[in-house]
Structure 1
Amino acid sequence: MRIDKFLKVSRLIKRRTVAKEIADQGRITINGKVAKSSSDVKVGDELAIKFGNRMMVLEIERIMETTKKDDAEHMYHILREEDLN
């Protein structure tokens, strides 16, 4: 699954276009490598996402094409959150 779609389906980012913009700005890494919006993710990958002055590192636990709100939080596990100040 593409990273922009994963971020939208998992509800980490509300809109796919916003997820695409963030990825294309180089603010997302997959397993330590800068990701583009078309980069594929799979179960076990580690994502690092920069949101302004905060960074969230998470591990993908499940890939689903569509989800309900309650199921979305089971798609990933947050490893750590850091302030970049």
Structure 2
Amino acid sequence: MRLDKFLKVSFLVKRRTLAKEVCDQGRVTINGKTAKAGTTVSVGDEIAIRYGQKIVTVRVEKLLNSVRKEDAGQLYTLLREEAANREQEV
């Protein structure tokens, strides 16, 4: 599954176009490497997303093409949520 679609389906990002923009800005990494919107996501991957002043890191648990908002949390496990330093790049 494409990274931008996973971010949208899991509700980590509200819209797929926004997910693509976030990826294009270099604010998303998969397993420590900067990822583009078309990067393939697999079960077990660690995704780090920079939202303004915080970095959220999750592990992919399931890949589904569609899911209800209430069940979206089953697609990933939150590993950590930390403040982002201004010098720190994700």
Q: What band does the TM-score fall into relative to the shorter chain? A: over 0.9
Looking at structure 1, the residues matched to 74 and 59 of structure 2 have their Cα atoms a distance apart, in angstroms, of 11
Report the counterpart of residue 81 of structure 1 in structure 2: 81
Report the counterpart of residue 32 of structure 1 in structure 2: 32
Please list every run of 5 or more consecutive structure 2 residues that lacks an aligned counterpart in the other structure. Answer: 86-90
Report the counterpart of residue 12 of structure 1 in structure 2: 12
Please list every run of 5 or more consecutive structure 1 residues that lacks an aligned counterpart in the other structure. Answer: none
1:5-39 superposed Cα distances (whole Å, 9 cap, x missing partner): 00000011110000000001100000011000000
Looking at structure 2, the residues matched to 46 and 5 of structure 1 have their Cα atoms a distance apart, in angstroms, of 16
Q: So what's the TM-score if we normalise by structure 2?
A: 0.92
Identity of aligned residues (%): 54
Looking at structure 1, the residues matched to 69 and 57 of structure 2 have their Cα atoms a distance apart, in angstroms, of 21
Q: Which amino acid aligns with 2:31?
A: N
Report the counterpart of residue 52 of structure 1 in structure 2: 52
Looking at structure 2, the residues matched to 26 and 59 of structure 1 have their Cα atoms a distance apart, in angstroms, of 19
1:65-84 superposed Cα distances (whole Å, 9 cap, x missing partner): 00011221100000000011
Q: Which amino acid aligns with 1:27?
A: R
Q: So what's the TM-score if we normalise by structure 1?
A: 0.97
Q: Give the match's secondary structure for 1:56.
A: strand
